[in-house]
Amino acid sequence: MATFDEIYAKIKEYPTIILHRHTSPDPDALGSQAGLARALKATFPDKRILCAGEDDEGDLAWINTMDQVTAADYQGALVITTDTANTPRVSNKMYDKGDFLIKIDHHPDVDPYADMSYVDPDSPAASQIIVEFLNAEKIAITADIAYPLYAGIVGDTGRFMYPETSAKTFEIAAQLAKTGINITEIARNISDVTFEQAKLQAKAMDEMVVDPSGAAYAILTQQDLKELSVTDDQASVTVSTPGRIKDVIAWNVFVEKSDGTYRVHYRSKAPVINHLAEQHDGGGHALASGANAKDLDEVKQIFAEVVEVTKKYRKEHDSNK
């Protein structure tokens, strides 16, 4: 794994730097990308710093929007991916057209695709790693830089609720808050839903199936989304819904895409599920991952695998009581 100093030395070498994040972006993907881009722009005003991503930011455009990037921009450029574990998840497939590629991430490094990487799976957010990098290289963090980074940390820690959250996370959050950013506005932007999204959450609850093991799933169809005028990206608001049920231990939310395939969300309160996602063109964290399913047969297979993992966890957990 590269050091922060080695990454910074590479950044200094290139006149053009293009930053990528993952598809279907969440606050940490956009926040880490935007925070690093803004810091580099402020530090190196003579460099061209671009944010690339081919899919829409949806309801998260308040964090950052993408630049217009062409194939010509990649000639002799440094490319940096943030919060992106594997190549299928990189938004904008021109990411490998530059001169050198750096990966900065906090997911397990199952796909070491870059020329240089800094990967810390113990970090709760890529945005936290970016703050640590900026601090290590003594790059000033203004409110403009802090805003997306704080949003990324809040988003990926589940408002500081998930187990990877540490004392260091709170120290970094405090550092960012001291720049004068509106932390209340950020929290509201992340948590607010439209009336239509709230209805979709209720739909997910109505459609939820709970296995005796404690595994659960809900399937949301394109018809469900169209009836409520909710986009595929906006449907991600339902991902945490099954977890509100006390007896649910691990769950899937399957969202049908316009081409008939399914976006698969894995979540868990304890059983490790990221290895399951990796078997279905996905990956992520131990307790929160994403994948894809080509049809309902694969949907059934995925949930059967979650049931087995949940059963195993319950058996081991009960035997240790």
Residues carrying CATH 3.10.310.30, the chain: 195-319
pLDDT for 166-183, tens place per residue?
999 999 999 999 999 999
pLDDT for 39-63, tens place per residue?
999 999 999 999 999 988 888 999 9
Q: CA-to-CA distance for 40 and 61, rounded, in angstroms?
A: 20
The confidence score (pLDDT) of residue 24 equals 84
Q: Say what the pTM is.
A: 0.87
Alpha helices in the chain (DSSP H): 4-13, 27-43, 126-136, 143-156, 167-177, 183-191, 195-207, 222-227, 274-278, 296-319
CATH number of the structural domain 4-190: 3.90.1640.10
The confidence score (pLDDT) of residue 320 equals 67
Residues carrying CATH 3.90.1640.10, the chain: 4-190
Residue spans of the chain under pLDDT 70: 319-321
CATH of 195-319, one of 3.20.20.150, 3.90.79.10, 3.20.20.120, 3.10.310.30: 3.10.310.30
The confidence score (pLDDT) of residue 321 equals 59
